[in-house]
Structure 1
Amino acid sequence: MSNTAAAPATQVRSVVVEREIAHPPEKIWRALTQPHLIQEWLMKSDFKPVVGHDFKFSADWGSVDCQVVTVEPNRTLSYTWGAYGLESVVTWTLTPISTGTHLRMEQSGFRPDQQQAYGGAKVGWARFFASLEQVLARPG
């Protein structure tokens, strides 16, 4: 069997959220990488922006096991995101624009049988982004 004819069961999907945010990449980077700020818009964590660092996001419903994959300060951050059978990767991309920063988040790795997780992620990330924007709107 050739690799060109992938069966539908092997197709994975991604959740993508993009926003133009009126803040410089450095400020957004802090909100993405400092645990006390991450807790305000996402979840409690023991995150460190160090490649290979294992960490957890914790919430009242459970936790997410993660490992840092990529760290390019003020530009790119990615980490694995594993919970309830979902093995995915979250990638943040920060691109400077004239009005601030174009922020893109992609969570990839949803299998076709993970429709509930996919739907939950679409709703969840929209909420997380709204909370992130509130954190960023504060002076500092």
Structure 2
Amino acid sequence: MTERATVSVDQFLAHPPRKVWRALTDSDLLARWLMPNDFRPVPGHRFTFRTTPRPRQGFDGVVHCEVLELDEPRRLRWAWRGGRLDTVVSWSLVPEGRGTRLFLEHSGFDPDDPVQRRTFTLLDGGWRSHVWPRLEHVLTDLA
């Protein structure tokens, strides 16, 4: 079996951990920087994200998730399943000076599957170039 691939991103955010935690766990805020959802910060809660379908990749636009771990305000993990993906997204918050170092790991991509390999490449860049700036914008608006 081939080792699974992981997207790893970390970023310093000039906001305290409680504020970052709120942006990660409040459904309305989460929708502003990630996707519309029915998230609740409760271990075992099943929820969905909704986005643009990509039928040629076997993706109907719905990401099925489940809260796997919740350790406020330090760690959040959820299952992330959609199309051919069965992955896990993990967030870790570490206080750093007057802000927070936020770590993201999106793990479980099968590098032998061409669709998953392409999705890994898209998400590896997308988390950095699209999602992170939107999160920063939402955090700044919460001031």
Q: Same fold (TM over 0.5)?
A: yes
- Which residues in structure 2 correspond to 1:54-93 (within 5 Å)? 54-61=46-53, 62-93=61-92
TM-score using structure 1 length: 0.90
Unaligned runs of 5+ in 2: 54-60
Secondary structure (helix, strand or coil) at the match of 1:11 reads: coil
Deviation at 1:59, TM superposition (A): 1.4
Residue identity (%): 41
Which string of whole-angstrom CA distances, capped at 9 and with x for unpartnered residues, describes residues 30-50 of structure 1?
A: 100111100110000000111
Moved more, 62-71 or 120-129: 120-129
**CA distance in structure 1 between the partners assigned to 2:90 and 2:20 by the alignment:** 14
RMSD over aligned CA atoms reads 1.0
Asked if 1:16 corresponds to 2:8, the answer is yes
> Retained in 2: the 8 A contact 1:21–1:99?
no
Secondary structure (helix, strand or coil) at the match of 2:43 reads: coil
> Retained in 2: the 8 A contact 1:24–1:96?
yes
Alignment-derived partner of residue 139 in structure 2: 136
Q: After TM superposition, which residue ranges in structure 1, 4 or more long, deviate above 6 angstroms?
A: none
Secondary structure (helix, strand or coil) at the match of 1:115 reads: helix
Alpha-carbon distance change, 50 to 10 in structure 1, aligned in 2, over 3 angstroms: same
Deviation at 1:123, TM superposition (A): 2.1
Deviation at 1:67, TM superposition (A): 0.4
Equivalent AA in structure 1 for residue 119 of structure 2: A
Unaligned runs of 5+ in 1: 1-8
Identify which of 109, 115, 118 aligns with 1:116. 118
Equivalent AA in structure 2 for residue 124 of structure 1: G
**CA distance in structure 1 between the partners assigned to 2:6 and 2:77 by the alignment:** 14
Task: Give the paired residue count.
Answer: 132
